[in-house]
A and B are shown apart, each in its own frame.
Chain A
Amino acid sequence: MIRRLVRSVAPLFLLFAAPLAAGGFGETAQKVQERVLANGLRVIVLARHDAPVVSFFTLVGVGAVNETTGITGVAHVFEHMAFKGTQTVGALDYAAEKEWLEKTDRAFEALRAERLKGPRADPAKLSAFEKEFKSFEAQAASFVAPNEYSVILESQGAADLNAMTSADFTGYVVSLPANKLGLWFAMESERFREPVTREFYKEKEVILEERRLRVESAPIGRLIEEMLAAAFKAHPYGQPTIGHKSDIENLTRTQAEAFYREHYTPEKITVAVVGDVSTGEVFDLAERHFGPLPAGPRNASPYITAEPPQGGEKRISYESPHQPIVGVSFHAPAAGHPDEAAYDALADILGGGRTSRLYKELVKKEKLAVEVGAFHGMPGNRFPNLFMVYGVNAVGKENEAVLNGILREIERLKKDGVTEEELAGVKRRTRAGLIRSMRSNEGLAQSLALAQLIHGDWRELFRTLDKIEQVTPADIQRVAREALVSQNRIVATIVKPEPQK
Chain B
Amino acid sequence: MRTPFRNACALVFAILAAVPGCAGPGATASKAKAKPHESLTIPPLRSFAPPQPQRHLLDNGMVVFLLEDHTLPVIDLAGLVRAGSVHETADKAGLASLCGEVMRTGGSEKHPGDLLDERLASIGGSIGVSFDLEWGSFSLGTLAEDFDAHLPVLVDVLQHPAFPEEKIALAKTGMLTAIAQRNDDPQEIARRLFPQLLYGPDSPYARQEETWTVEAITRQDLLDFHQRFIAPNAMIVGVHGDFDATHMLARIREAFSGWPQRSGALPPAPQVRPEPLRTVNLAAKEDLNQSTVMVGHLGTVRRADDPDYFALVVANDILGSGGFSSRLLQQVRTREGLAYSIGSRFGADYTHPGLFTAGCQTKSGATVQAIESIRREIRRMTEAPVTEEELRIAKESIGNSLVFEYDTRGEIVARAMRYELHGFPSDYIERFQKGVAAVTVDDVLAVCRKYLRPDNLTVLAVGNPAQFDKPLASLGMGPVAQVPLAPARPASAEETPSPEALAAGRKVMEEAAAAFGGLKRLEEINTLTIKGRMTVEAAPGMTVPIDMTIAIRYPDRIRIDMKTPQGEISQGFDGKSAWACPPGMPPMDLPASQAQEMKSEIQKLEMRLVAACAQGALPAWRVGEEAIDGKIADEVRVKTPSGMVARLYFDRATRRLVKTVQSGSQGTEETFFSDHRSVQGLLFPFHRTVTGAGTTPREMTMEKVTVNSPIPDGAFTKPAAPGK
Interface set of A (CB-CB < 8 Å, partner B): 1-7, 48, 50-53, 83, 86-89, 91-95, 141, 145-148, 150-152, 154-161, 175, 177-180, 182-183, 186-187, 189-190, 199, 201-210, 212-213, 216-219, 276, 320-323, 353-355, 363-364, 367, 370, 392-395, 421, 424-425, 428-433, 435-436, 438-441
Contacts and interface: CB of A to CB of B under 8 A. Distances in A.
A216 B408 CA distance: 38
A34 B135 CA distance: 46
A207 B340 contact: yes
B401 interface: yes
Contact of A5 (B175, B290, B339): B175
B403 A6 contact: no
B132, B178, B329, B336 — most chain A CB neighbours (10 Å): B178
Nearest to B132: A1
A380 B177 CA distance: 30
Nearest to B13: A52
B351 interface: no
Contact of A1 (B32, B34, B130, B173): B130
A213 B36 contact: no
Given A52-B45, A217-B290, A210 B340 contact: yes
Nearest to A275: B407
B238 interface: no
B324 A425 contact: no
B178 A2 contact: yes
A179 B45 contact: yes
A439 B407 CA distance: 11
Given A179-B42, A217-B290, 10 more contacts: A1-B97, A2-B97, A2-B130, A52-B48, A160-B2, A175-B407, A199-B334, A212-B290, A217-B289, A218-B185
Interface string B374-409: 000000000000000000110011011111101110
Contacts of B125: 432
B165 to A, nearest CB: 14
B513 to A, nearest CB: 41
Contact of A154 (B131, B324, B337): B324
Interface string B255-296: 000000000000000000000000000000001111000000
Interface of B: 2, 21, 23-25, 28-37, 40, 42-46, 48, 50, 71-74, 85, 96-98, 100-101, 114, 117-118, 121-125, 130-132, 141-143, 170-171, 173-186, 188, 287-290, 322-325, 329-330, 333-341, 361-363, 392-393, 396-397, 399-404, 406-408
A395 B177 contact: yes
Given A5-B182, A180-B42, A323-B184, A355 B121 contact: yes
B182 to A, nearest CB: 7
A1 B96 contact: yes
Nearest to B399: A157
A147 B330 contact: yes
A146 B334 contact: yes
Nearest to B362: A209
Nearest to A84: B334
Given A212-B289, A355-B117, A440-B408, A1 B101 contact: yes
Contacts, number: 278
A51, A86, A201, A393 — most chain B CB neighbours (10 Å): A51
9 tightest A-B contacts by CB? A157-B400, A432-B124, A205-B337, A150-B324, A1-B97, A5-B178, A212-B290, A186-B36, A210-B340
Contacts of A213: 290, 340-341, 361
B498 to A, nearest CB: 22
B225 to A, nearest CB: 13
A182 B42 contact: yes
Contact of B32 (A2, A88, A183, A435): A88
Contacts of B179: 5, 395
Contact of B325 (A92, A151, A186): A151
Nearest to B36: A186
A17 B280 CA distance: 42
B48 A51 contact: yes
Contacts of A189: 36
A186 B290 contact: no
B334 A209 contact: no
Contact of B397 (A148, A155, A392, A428): A155
A393 B402 CA distance: 43
B339 A206 contact: yes
27 contacts: A1-B131, A7-B182, A50-B71, A51-B408, A83-B324, A86-B36, A89-B35, A93-B31, A94-B32, A95-B32, A152-B35, A157-B404, A179-B42, A179-B43, A183-B23, A205-B338, A209-B337, A209-B362, A212-B363, A321-B184, A355-B121, A395-B173, A395-B177, A431-B124, A432-B74, A435-B73, A439-B71
B47 to A, nearest CB: 9
B50 A51 contact: yes
A176 B657 CA distance: 58
Nearest to B46: A52
A156 B101 CA distance: 42
Nearest to A145: B28
A7 B408 contact: no
Contacts of A145: 28
Contacts of A209: 290, 337-340, 361-363
Contacts of A146: 330, 334-335
B42 to A, nearest CB: 6
A367 B404 contact: no
A367 B170 contact: yes
A6 B40 contact: no
